[in-house]
Amino acid sequence: MAYKFIKTEVKDNVGYLIINKPPYNVLDIPTMKEMNEALDEFKDRDDLNVLVLTAEGDKAFSAGVDVADHTEDKVDEMIEVFHGIFKRLNEIPYITIAAVKGAALGGGCEVAIFCDMIFAADNIKIGQPEIQLAVFPPIALLVLPKIIPTKKAFEMILGGGTFRAEEALNIGLVNKIVELDKFDEELNNFLKQFSKLSRSALKVTKKAFRKVGLLEFEKGLPLIEDIYLNELMKLEDAHEGLTSFLEKRKPVWKHK
């Protein structure tokens, strides 16, 4: 299928889903719809050991979901389409790896951390800055405490800061850091360890690995979506945060 905002390809037994909106690879609703279509195609393939999610350019894996799609008239559709990415990733029966160069922020960070592994360049800048706009990242709330120490998860979500390469590696947020100018070569080397393994064994092992997490995801996501849409998005400050970002000014909080 021909796409406008993403690219897909298969090399040997590795599939690639490439976000193609450089330099920042922002995820708007049309882009996320294409990602969902591609993931539907990938999850039905039986000839792959690995799916790599990556992006064009060195500046950003993805700077996040388009803030303009968080507005009151679009937020319900945005959440449905955005969370569709994770529901589909949960159904991928083989290994998923986020190959990250540059910024992975907000929704871009959530896409990366939801993959089974993160392979990153040394210019990575990863974080969840949503709280700075008086909103929170639903997927990160579900998965971050399972990946990194709880205290660091609180810092990342409630502080809204970002981690650079060394700290991201030290807290277990990423699997491997490589020099940016050697990224493609090192990624290929990293993938080789999975390419030579039994595809059927990988699928069964991943199924066992994900079983408990899948149950928690299916139960937890509707609860978090309800809080996000029916409590958070009813706050005056949430609308002020999003509006101030779009208007390129500092927010004026009412604390309600």
Q: What's residue 134's pLDDT?
A: 94
Residue 191: inside a domain: yes
Give the residue among 68, 145, 139 at the shortest CA–CA distance from 104: 139
Q: What's residue 151's pLDDT?
A: 95
- Grade residue 214 by pLDDT with cuts at 50, 70 and 90: low
Domain that holds residue 101: 6-195
Instruction: State pLDDT tens for residues 12-60.
Output: 899 999 999 999 999 999 999 999 999 999 999 999 999 999 999 999 9
pLDDT of 221 > 90? The answer is no
Give the residue among 70, 73, 65, 75 at the shortest CA–CA distance from 31: 65
Identity at 123, one-letter amino acid code: N
Q: Which residue has the higher pLDDT, 64 or 224?
A: 64
Which percentage of the chain shows pLDDT scores above 90?
A: 84
Catalytic residue among 130, 179, 225, 240: 130
Q: Which residue has the higher pLDDT, 190 or 217?
A: 190
Q: What's residue 72's pLDDT?
A: 83
pTM over 0.75: yes
Non-local (6+) Cβ contacts of 21 within 8 A are 5, 31, 55, 56
Catalytic annotation present for 110: yes
Residue 202: inside a domain: no
Catalytic annotation present for 37: no
Residue 207: inside a domain: no
Residue 106: inside a domain: yes
Q: What are the φ/ψ torsions at residue 162 (nearest 5 degrees)?
A: -125, 155
Q: What's residue 158's pLDDT?
A: 96
Residue 12: inside a domain: yes
144-148, 186-190, 210-214: which has the highest mean pLDDT? Answer: 186-190
Q: Could you give the number of structural domains in the chain?
A: 1
Catalytic residue among 9, 80, 110, 231: 110
**Span 228-253, average pLDDT:** 91
Q: What's residue 1's pLDDT?
A: 72
Instruction: State pLDDT tens for residues 93-151.
Output: 999 999 999 999 999 999 999 999 999 999 999 999 999 999 999 999 999 999 999 99
pLDDT of 216 > 80? The answer is no
Residue 168 is part of a domain; what is its CATH number?
Answer: 3.90.226.10
Q: What's residue 155's pLDDT?
A: 95
